[in-house]
Amino acid sequence: MTTETIIQTENLNLWYGESHALQTVSMGIPKNRVTALIGPSGCGKSTLLRCFNRLNDLIDHVKITGTILLDNEDIQCSATDVVMLRKKVGMVFQKPNPFPKSIYENIAYGPRVHGVKEKSELDAIVERSLRRAALWDEVKDRLHDSALGLSGGQQQRLCIARTLAVEPEVILMDEPCSALDPIATAKIENLIDMLKQQYTVIIVTHNMQQAARVSDFTGFMYLGKLIECGKTVQIFEHPKEELTENYITGRFG
Ligand SMILES: Nc1ncnc2c1ncn2[C@@H]1O[C@H](COP(=O)(O)OP(=O)(O)OP(=O)(O)O)[C@@H](O)[C@H]1O
Ligand SMILES: [Mg+2]
């Protein structure tokens, strides 16, 4: 079975001022699969992830060359509607960052910005998003309580629900479990597995076991370069590059 590619980078380079943080990265992200990005601290994982919804635009002195195609369209060109791009490509951060508002308002905010006004429609979106994020049963009786009263793991699932509320195609997750305990982490991992039926997930993780458990494809980065990418089983069991093998066997990083 061939897998469709949803994002493709070609010779992607990124500089922060003089520092060459991404070096000729050419990588395909398969649709409706989970792709993990691994590699030692500072190798460019978060930088690459941020390229996929142009979050690096918000950082001064960034220069990017090469192409990034999403659904075969170049997202780097000036005609790209960045608000629509970020609707299509959502992001979940390392530390849960709910708005200091109610659970309901956290989810309803994005759809409202995108023009949904009817309360009944917003109610339906809130319920559907919370169900998809496996949080509904825990919060359905307290939707109007502050989101800040949720546990860390619940807050992270709320942030995932908030991303799902605007119907993205791709969900970027930058170390989404690193602030969570093992039980909350297991819930997020199960959720990621369910999400790939409808969405494409790209996850940065420092945890090799997590990458092996949740992902179908893995890319290994080192010093700004994509050293190797392929099916997760192949990368973990038969890496082609010695650097990859040294990293996944814990010899450095
Ligand atoms: N806003 C920035 N301005 C300047 N340099 C930056 C900026 N963000 C990242 N860098 C540099 O770019 C390189 C890649 O950083 P990046 O955050 O992408 O690494 P990472 O692989 O996500 O690391 P970690 O695993 O520690 O999160 C690093 O050398 C980092 O110092
Ligand atoms: Mg990072």
Residue nearest to atom 4 of ligand 1 (CA): 16
Look-up of token digits 């490509």: 89
CA–CA gap between residue 107 and residue 36 (Å, rounded)? 26
Asked whether 130 lines ligand 1 (CB < 6 A), one says no
Domain coverage including residue 104: 5-248
For residue 112, is it within any domain? yes
Average pLDDT estimate for 145-154 = 96
pLDDT of residue 71: 96
Give pLDDT tens digits for 168-198.
Answer: 999 999 999 998 899 999 999 999 999 999 9
Helices 152-164 and 119-132: angle between axes, nearest 10 degrees: 120
Give pLDDT tens digits for 84-143.
Answer: 999 999 999 999 999 999 999 999 999 999 999 999 999 999 999 999 999 999 999 999
Residue nearest to atom 3 of ligand 1 (CA): 16
Asked whether 59 lines ligand 1 (CB < 6 A), one says yes
CA–CA gap between residue 236 and residue 208 (Å, rounded)? 9
Look-up of token digits 């409202």: 112
Asked whether 205 lines ligand 1 (CB < 6 A), one says no
For residue 192, is it within any domain? yes
Give pLDDT tens digits for 26-76.
Answer: 999 999 999 999 999 999 999 999 999 999 988 999 999 999 999 999 999
**Strand 170-174 to strand 200-204: parallel, antiparallel, or no bridges (unpaired)?**
parallel
Residue nearest to atom 22 of ligand 1 (CA): 46
User: Ligand 1 pocket test: which of 19, 223, 247 has the largest number of ligand atoms within 8 Å of its C-beta?
Assistant: 19
47 contacts 56 by C-beta, under 8 angstroms:
yes
Give which of 196, 223, 97 is closest to 150, Cα–Cα.
Answer: 97
Q: Torsion-angle region of residue 17: left (phi > 0), alpha (psi -120 to 50) or beta?
A: left
Domain count within the chain: 1
Asked whether 49 lines ligand 1 (CB < 6 A), one says no
For residue 89, is it within any domain? yes
Asked whether 45 lines ligand 1 (CB < 6 A), one says yes
Percent of the chain with pLDDT over 90: 94
At residue 124, the 3 state secondary structure works out as helix
For residue 91, is it within any domain? yes
For residue 253, is it within any domain? no
pLDDT of residue 1: 56
Give which of 237, 185, 187, 175 is closest to 212, Cα–Cα.
Answer: 237
For residue 33, is it within any domain? yes
For residue 168, is it within any domain? yes
**Strand 73-74 to strand 34-38: parallel, antiparallel, or no bridges (unpaired)?**
unpaired
pTM, whole model, 2 decimals?
Answer: 0.96
For residue 49, is it within any domain? yes
Atom of ligand 1 nearest to the CA of 204: 22
Residue nearest to atom 25 of ligand 1 (CA): 41
CATH number at 235 reads 3.40.50.300
Asked whether 47 lines ligand 1 (CB < 6 A), one says yes
Helices then strands, each counted (H, E), the chain: 10, 10
DSSP assignments along 125-182, one per residue:
HHHHHHHHTT-HHHHTT-TTSBGGGS-HHHHHHHHHHHHHTT--SEEEEESTTTTS-H
**Strand 34-38 to strand 217-222: parallel, antiparallel, or no bridges (unpaired)?**
parallel
